[in-house]
Amino acid sequence: MTTSRIRVILADDHPVILEGVRYELERSSTISVVGTAKNSTELMAALTNSPCDVVVSDYVMPGGRYGDGLALFAAIRQHSPHVRVVVLSMMENPAVVRLLMQGGHSCIFSKADPISNLTIAVHAAYANGRYLSPRMAAISDTIKPGARGNTAGAALTRCELEVVRLFVSGMTVTEIGELLRRSKKTISTQKSTAMLKLSIERDADLVRYGIESGLVSSAEPANS
């Protein structure tokens, strides 16, 4: 019966991925896709108009007034505290995975893993459990407590890492401040502190770091 199904809203800015995920999840008799979104504005509207149990959302999803990544997931939690999130991502940066897990996001799915496993992730999220797809589990194994290593960005705080990611994706300091509702001075300070921690002096080198460490894809367009 549909009333007993797990109600899911999907969010991804790539139509092919969105439809592929929808097709896979709707093959399950226990899951009902009640909405889709291509950016954070559409996602928050869907949460208001279509009550759901789980959101399956891309980590990097440009556009929309609520941003993406950690900022978006915080907005989802504030808007709908009962809704669980499955994070979809192509990024394999250990620092990002660590911060997601520290923030209570324990269901993380790599787009490089078989989509057939996504149903398991949705069920785990619904049960307030933990599920890391195989590639994400391998990354998690490198950042267990006590294992310091050379994890890229591990020394950055959550706010610093998010500022760096947004800056590298093409946003200006002013735009980041507006998105995260912080002053331009605060964003500038967090960016400068992050660069100091990373021993980076030039913005061009910060962009290179973001690409090489997996914070953004080299094919990801900058915001215009």
pLDDT digits (tens, 9 = 90+) for 50-96: 999 999 999 988 888 888 888 899 899 999 999 999 999 987 778 77
DSSP secondary structure code for residue 90 in this structure:
S
pLDDT over 80 at 12, yes or no: yes
Residues 112 and 75 in one domain: yes
Domain end among 109, 143, 177: 143
Helix axes 69-79, 158-168, angle to 10 degrees: 120
Q: What is the pTM of this model?
A: 0.72
- Main-chain phi, psi angles of 48, to 5 degrees: -75, -40
pLDDT over 80 at 134, yes or no: yes
Cα–Cα dist 199/180, whole Å: 25
- First vs last C-alpha separation in the chain: 46
Residues 7 and 114 in one domain: yes
pLDDT over 70 at 152, yes or no: no
* Stretch 33-41: mean pLDDT: 96
pLDDT over 60 at 224, yes or no: no
In a domain, 86, yes or no: yes
Residues 59 and 136 in one domain: yes
In a domain, 25, yes or no: yes
For residue 96, which of 165, 177, 27 has the smallest C-alpha distance? 165
For residue 13, which of 139, 121, 111 has the smallest C-alpha distance? 111
In a domain, 196, yes or no: yes
